[in-house]
């Protein structure tokens, strides 16, 4: 039996003894941001939400300044809101990063919470579409850090200047949350995974830091095939990705199936060495998690694995929460969230009894927050 099967069998057996029946119910739904053509922001996209050890919830978004033909490029802010009452109410919008008038500005990536140091760390990419002459058309990643739970922020640090291997690596982290490993191996390591942006390199890759986000290194990932060639429908092209950690230290990355390799469903892979490698023998397709090629989110809360995305093979509609009581072996349960136009999403724990979901709806016009009681 392959090694990863033995590990997952052990995890499933352990968790099966402790699973508590859940019955998710929506208890609150509210608009966090509404896009419009006035003011400093034209469009809010790419919500990333996470909980903090002090009990707060924080949500971040790409605040796109202009209506341009391809809205993934252009100038943006990273915007943030905070809830001090577990999602009942939200404070004002705060802009924490500004790329000014960039032709090919920032794209929001991953948000990580370093519980050992009390930091929030955001990893994002600049010039992902190679359209910024001041950078010689080379993409790079930046990290920005808060040491007081997001009330103040340091200056962004260019990781391409710090680690030359990262300059031009073309990693677009997430979008979603990154993790700090809680279990061996490599307890305390920060890990953020995402997709490499040129179509010829379409793959999932990870960055990691063992010094609380001061320096970063390139880890492993899921390599697109055919390697080095432009991808087309049916090719293996794992895209935007989210990572979680199992209680035995194994990492699971769940990724967008950009070109519908074998199915209109999700791609997954595992790492047993802290994100350095993702053996091809651990790479699987998850037929129960159908998708229209879009960002999704995965969350391990207690003994239950949750997943959110537009659950459709036809288009970006039908935002749905699914959950698994056997660590993702099967996905028999689902809760409809919104039947209409719905796009990117991000899940977070709130407390032992609640989770939160932030997602785009109505053709990207709204960023919605949903609070869900799970049992």
Beta-strand (E) ranges in 65-118? 76-83, 94-98, 106-114
Query: Cis before residue 84, ω within 30 degrees of 0?
Result: no
Residue 290: per-residue pLDDT: 98
Q: Running DSSP on this structure, what letter comes out for residue 19?
A: P
Higher confidence at residue 18 or residue 304?
304
360 is catalytic: yes
- With bands split at pLDDT 50, 70 and 90, how would you rate the model's confidence at 304? very high
261 is catalytic: no
* Active-site residue, from 119, 246, 261, 344: 344
- With bands split at pLDDT 50, 70 and 90, how would you rate the model's confidence at 39? confident
pLDDT at 362 over 90: yes
- With bands split at pLDDT 50, 70 and 90, how would you rate the model's confidence at 40? confident
Residue 244: per-residue pLDDT: 98
Q: Which residues have C-beta within 8 Å of that of residue 322, sequence separation ≥ 6? A: 288, 289, 306, 307, 308, 311, 331, 333, 334, 335
Residue 328: both structure tokens together: 């993702």
Residue 197: per-residue pLDDT: 79
Q: Running DSSP on this structure, what letter comes out for residue 161?
A: H
How far apart CA 213 and CA 273 sit, in angstroms, is 19
Compute the mean pLDDT over every residue in the chain, rounded to the nearest whole number. 92
Higher confidence at residue 9 or residue 26?
26
| Tens of pLDDT, residues 128-159 | 888 887 666 678 899 999 999 999 999 999 99
Q: What's the average model confidence in pLDDT over 268-291?
A: 98
Q: How many CB atoms lie within 10 A of CB 212?
A: 18
Cα torsion through 71, 72, 73, 75, rounded to 10? 80
- With bands split at pLDDT 50, 70 and 90, how would you rate the model's confidence at 167? confident
- With bands split at pLDDT 50, 70 and 90, how would you rate the model's confidence at 38? low
Residue 16: per-residue pLDDT: 43
User: What is the CATH code for 3-373?
Assistant: 2.120.10.10
Query: Would you list the DSSP string of 196-265?
Result: E-SGGG--EEEEEESSTTSS-EEEEEE--BSTTS---TTSB-EEEEEEEE-TTS-EEEEEEETT-SSSSE
Spell out a b/e string for 153-178, using b for 16 or more CB atoms within 10 Å of the CB, else e: beebbebbeebeebbebbbbbbbbbb
pLDDT at 344 over 80: yes
pLDDT at 30 over 90: yes
Compute CA distances 183 → 110, 161, 171, 225, 277, whole Å.
20, 31, 26, 32, 17
pLDDT at 255 over 80: yes
Question: 72 and 129 in contact (C-beta within 8 Å)?
Answer: yes
344 is catalytic: yes
The lowest-confidence range among 17-26, 34-43, 49-58 is 17-26
* Active-site residue, from 104, 114, 343, 360: 360
Q: What's the average model confidence in pLDDT over 3-29?
A: 63
* Active-site residue, from 72, 235, 273, 288: 72
In DSSP terms, 221 is beta-bridged to 205
Residue 280: both structure tokens together: 């091809």
Higher confidence at residue 133 or residue 84?
84
């Amino acid at each position: 039996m392959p090694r990863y099967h033995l590990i997952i069998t052990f995890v499933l057996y352990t968790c099966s003894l402790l699973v508590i029946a859940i019955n998710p119910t929506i208890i609150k739904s509210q608009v966090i941001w509404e896009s419009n053509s006035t003011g400093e922001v034209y469009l809010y996209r790419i919500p990333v939400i996470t909980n903090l050890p002090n009990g707060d919830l924080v949500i971040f978004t790409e605040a796109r300044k202009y209506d341009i033909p391809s809205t993934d490029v252009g100038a943006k802010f990273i915007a943030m809101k905070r809830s001090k009452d577990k999602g009942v109410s939200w404070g004002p919008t705060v802009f924490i990063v500004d790329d000014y008038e960039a032709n090919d500005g920032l794209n929001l990536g991953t948000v990580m919470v370093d519980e050992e140091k009390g930091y929030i760390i955001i990893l994002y990419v600049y010039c992902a579409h190679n359209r910024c002459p001041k950078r010689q058309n080379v993409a790079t990643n930046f990290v920005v850090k808060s040491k007081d739970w997001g009330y103040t922020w340091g200056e962004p640090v260019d990781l391409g200047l710090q680690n030359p291997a990262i300059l031009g690596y073309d990693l677009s982290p997430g979008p979603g949350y990154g993790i700090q490993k809680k279990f061996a191996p490599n307890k305390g390591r920060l890990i953020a995974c995402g997709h490499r942006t040129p179509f010829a390199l379409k793959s999932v890759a990870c960055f990691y830091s063992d010094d609380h986000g001061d320096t970063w290194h390139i880890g492993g990932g899921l390599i697109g095939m055919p390697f080095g060639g432009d991808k087309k429908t049916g090719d293996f092209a794992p895209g935007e990705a989210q990572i979680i950690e199992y209680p035995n230290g194994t990492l699971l990355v769940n990724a967008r199936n950009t070109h519908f390799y074998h199915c209109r469903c999700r791609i997954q892979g595992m790492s047993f060495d802290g994100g350095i490698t993702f053996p091809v023998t651990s790479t699987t397709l998850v037929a129960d998690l159908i998708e229209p090629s879009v960002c999704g989110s995965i969350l391990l809360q207690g003994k239950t694995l949750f997943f959110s995305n537009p659950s459709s093979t036809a288009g970006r509609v039908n935002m749905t929460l699914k959950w698994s009581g056997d660590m993702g072996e099967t996905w028999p349960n689902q809760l409809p969230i919104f039947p209409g136009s719905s796009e990117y999403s991000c899940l977070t724990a709130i407390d032992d009894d609640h989770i939160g979901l932030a997602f785009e709806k109505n053709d990207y016009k709204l960023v919605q927050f949903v609070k869900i009681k799970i049992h």
